[in-house]
Structure 1
């Protein structure tokens, strides 16, 4: 068995693969666009298959289109330790989101294989189908299928061109009717560890290359509509106005305070006014609120407090209000045994155990329904993500992958879990 932290991946090889994958789907604006199951993403999949084969892995594609590279272990029938992420992108994306987890996972397994390092449990790296949800409006499609939470109605989702998800899967030589067969059991998958860029500024502010996510924020997305009375901006005295925008402004300041008190985050991301003229008091304001927290109870309390603040602001000005929930997900807690393994690996490669909460969703959210999860985060320059300027240094990517490879081997040799 290796000494904890003694394994090192090839940083140059990892960086080269990140750059090569980044060329597939590169657009004239300097970013990358590889929407799920598009021609660009299907070409990128062939690149991933080639890398997996070069790493000496047994490669297969499951019924949901997930690409799986497997390195068998010493114990027959033992459940696998799994890593991975995705290669589909948003529009005009950077080259690291998702890609680092897939390529870092391949590099980790390649290193273990090249060194002939024995491990009891099998190891797998997975390139999941459609994490981003940009093309069809729903994400985690491949990881949902593997976790057994697939909803057949998703096949009816359409992209901007009117193509149904089921049609896109058929175009990729997948049978949409067989997706449920991609589900796996808890006995087959004993742990999932994802390597991902942070997509925020916490690690940069701390001056650390990598961090350990103790949890992934849950979220509640609300849409509020406040309705008052549209009036002339010049002829309506202030005391006679029923202005929903000023009520919304008051409510948003209250919501900011609620998030701070609860230890979560709140964001008003969209705002629409009607009729929307410079000389007309708006008659209606529609805006969205994104609430996030690491604890389910606190997230629920935040949502109740926010709804109360909205109702209070509307009532104070004689407005009507409606609030609807657009989307939501419960927080995900990382497994203590995986967090401990990551911390040990950080120490072994000379990094501090920097604990933090992950603010973005990843395939680990869906995989948590199947198995224990853990998340290694890598520093993002300026916290920029989903943008051509997204950047993590070669040194940080290598450091994160070194933590990953040592974590995988620790977990693969722990048959008591």
Structure 2
């Protein structure tokens, strides 16, 4: 027997707007890990979770949780969630929409008996915008935390260890956030697509088949800083020109394959108009549907960039600062999401659309400890990580119905 729907798409969007106000920058949305804005978002989300009838707590990694027991106390939990942190100058829906939708589904199911506990989580760090390491919140929950990360520093020189202490958490107890496989039924995440494929197909919703494996690097090209006028061409060891050639090579190699590569930052030193650059630092974000394709592309890129630097008399240093394996969504949870999409009755004779996710998500970290599934919602022009990020109320309404139906489908299939 279903209960009356108590949370509408309009209310979900209004809650996303409330989260927008929790920003370190009054002009642009920026909510980073273990900051006062993160704490405020946790408090706001906890209030909504409590309204939905969930018991709430913040775990040892700073993630915000809510839980309602199933038919028997202490049963394993189906976890719904996403992340509350943002990139700098963010949009209103990446991560946040998934958290708010999860709370809304928990509220809709408040009077429904489930054969498992239902939990909602708002992860504190998915983007990695503060410390340069993504998925800190969900990796703590998955039990894949690396204590060396505690030495990471933000732009102000604050270590992750110190940030934990400033937030009121003990960095030595991060391991307490880890969950065991026997505590979990699975993890379902609703998220905007962050790409244009659903919109191009005129679909509100899609299901995710797999999440791209990602690696991130910092590359330092070292030359020699010298006078721009007094140094002849044959004596120049220009780090910026070498780095620029490397950027072009990265794009050329990736475009000829099924991988995706992005150089998102390029910094030059000393940065004077009349000085040949002596150093260039660039970032590389590399993704593919499989780890094998991703790693093979990195090997090809590394060989070509090394050759460029050797030819130009430049040094090259490479530091890998993030690696996440590709994650396949579990077949039975894919089917639950497909059933949920079908329940929205907006497809006609069409089959639900499956996509592999080019973007990373908390689900890929949780895949190390439990089965995962994802529901994608159409976003305007596929834009994300931008203030222009947008969703339509009708798509959120269909997403809520599909997400609720997916939970019911899990309940019908799950055997303890």
Q: TM-score, normalised by structure 2?
A: 0.86
Larger RCO, structures 1/2 (Cα 8 Å, 6+ apart): 1
Equivalent residue, structure 2, for 1:379: 378
What are the within-5 Å matches in structure 2 for residues 274-293 of structure 1?
285-293=280-288
Partner residue of 1:268 out of 234, 256, 263:
263
User: Which residue is 2:130 aligned to?
Assistant: 135
- What pairs with 1:37-76 in structure 2 (closer than 5 Å)? 37-74=34-71
Closer/same/farther in 2, CA of residues 104 and 271 from structure 1, 3 Å limit:
same
Relative to structure 1, is the Cα distance of residues 387 and 251 closer, same or farther in structure 2, using a 3 angstrom cutoff? closer
| Shift in CA distance, 26/226, structure 1 to aligned 2, threshold 3 Å | closer
Q: Which residue of 1 aligns with 2:79?
A: 82
| Structure 2 residue corresponding to 1:22, chosen from 20, 23, 28 | 20
- Gap change, CA 1:312 and 1:336, over 3 Å in 2: same
Q: Which residue of 1 aligns with 2:331?
A: 336
Unaligned runs of 5+ in 1: none
Mapping for residues 92-241 of structure 1, pairs under 5 Å:
92-113=89-110, 116-226=111-221
Q: How many residues align?
A: 410
Q: In structure 2, do the counterparts of structure 1 residues 319 and 104 end up closer, same or farther at CA, with 3 Å as the change threshold?
A: same
| Residue of structure 1 in register with 2:290 after alignment | 295
Distance 1:385 1:306 in 2: 27
Distance 1:16-1:180 versus aligned 2 partners, 3 A rule: same
Equivalent residue number for residue 316 of structure 2:
322
Q: CA deviation at 1:265?
A: 0.9
Q: Give, in whole Å, the separation in 2 of the partners of 1:233 and 1:181.
A: 56
Residue 151 of structure 1: how far off its partner (Å): 2.9
Q: Determine helix, strand or coil for the equivalent of 1:312.
A: helix
- Secondary structure of the corresponding residue to residue 121 of structure 2: strand
1:380: how far off?
Answer: 2.3
Structure 1 residues 320 and 246: CA distance shift in structure 2, 3 A: closer
Point out where structure 2 has 5 or more consecutive residues left out of the alignment: none
RMSD of Structure 2 on Structure 1 (CA): 3.2
1:14–1:398 contact (8 Å) kept in structure 2: no
